[in-house]
Amino acid sequence: MKQTLPSHGQLITPCDLDFDRVKELQEFDETKAGVKGLVDSGATKVPRIFIHPHENSQSPPSDANGTSLQIPIIDLRGYRDSRRKDVINGIRKASEAWGFFQIINHGIPLDVMDNTLEGVKKFHEQRVEVKKEVYSRDGAKRVRYFCSGDLFALKAATWKDTVVFEFQDGDLEPEAVPPICRDAVFEYEKHIAELKTSLAELLSEALGLSSDYLSGTECMKSETVIGHYYPACPEPELTLGTVHHSDLSFLTLLLQDHHGGLQVLHESHWLDVVPVKGALLANIGDFMQLVTNGKFKSVEHRVLSGQVGPRISVACFLAPSKTGKNRPLGPIKELLSENNPPIYKETSLSEYVACFRSHGLRATSTLPHFRMSDSK
């Protein structure tokens, strides 16, 4: 299904309404029950703090011609030998034109993927008294659970709960992860770590570089595994599961269940990403666009709320090593030429994230702030 971008409406936003938004946000946050707690309490209306401005809310379908575009599918079967050239070409084309691609035959067993989704679901469906032990908005805590990561920064909260597991350089103490999902999370991360090595090689070659180039920069050494829980929503047209955004990472790998709801912005239209059983969805992050000098695209995407749920997804954000987060990176010199001068300044991931937060840019890309002043 294709949806046309809504025009910026002139309707009032929740911020304009006659209610104490901050007070209601604080009261909601202090319950530590998340959106699931609202649903479990029997809520039949979306609370005001979740109602999104008109220009951000779900737009009606406008696919008059019945056009159906699909995210490219990359089959990794035989990528080490006979099909390597075809796989690399497919990744290059998808990264340049879409910024997204589905990966099949990636080597992660289906039961491992299913167990991961089930583990995240079980975590979120625990009693509040158990979950709240890890409820926190402190980004320094490597395992934490919360509702709407930018709860106090966005114009409206998002209809999802989240649990985060930060594997810095592939390391995380098992005892820090709740027992109900511990085995599933660690088993999944082990397979992701193997897959990302192969993807780093393929992406390097897709850029015309040596296969060990990206792994040598340690730009995807750390993994942050995030388990989202999107409860069924009584009024999905009023809110969003995730606002439109692009990822700050180098690469994101997404595991999702069958419910759908994810949309990608392609040629000024929102396109549904139809779940493919057993597939992982890969998308280029802002930092990959920066170091490739715009060759690979970081694309905006969002998640719609739905009346059927819960929807479960597990995103793995691949980013620089713990020490590498402060190391400046810029467009790869081997990709530059007189006809292709750098269009982005050097920056570190830490500086980039700080800029993102200081400008309150949750729903817009931070990349323009790092464009060279003389680039167009």
Structure tokens, 192: 């992701």
Backbone phi, then psi, for 266, in 5-degree steps?
Answer: -135, 120
Looking at residue 376, its pLDDT comes to: 52
The predicted structure's pLDDT at residue 149: 80
DSSP 221: -
Per-10-residue mean pLDDT, the chain, length 376: 36 51 92 96 95 66 51 96 96 98 98 98 97 94 91 88 92 95 98 97 98 94 96 96 92 97 95 96 97 97 95 96 88 96 94 80 75 72
- Spatial distance between the Cα atoms of 330 and 370, rounded to a whole number of angstroms: 10
Q: Residue 64 has what pLDDT?
A: 36
Answer for the pair 198, 79: CB distance below 8 angstroms, yes or no. Answer: yes
Q: Coil, strand, or helix at residue 263? A: strand
What is the model's pLDDT at position 68?
61
pLDDT at 360: 55
pLDDT given for residue 110 in this prediction: 98
| Domains annotated on the chain, with CATH | 34-53+69-360 (2.60.120.330)
Contact present, 151 and 159 (Cβ < 8 Å): no
Q: What is the pTM of this model?
A: 0.91
The predicted pLDDT at position 334 comes to: 97
Residue 264 confidence (pLDDT): 96
Phi then psi for 163, rounded to 5 degrees? -125, 135
pLDDT of residue 359: 66
According to DSSP H, which parts of the chain are helical? 21-31, 34-40, 84-97, 110-124, 128-131, 179-206, 213-217, 286-291, 349-358
Phi-psi region of 34 (alpha: psi -120 to 50; beta: other; left: phi over 0): left
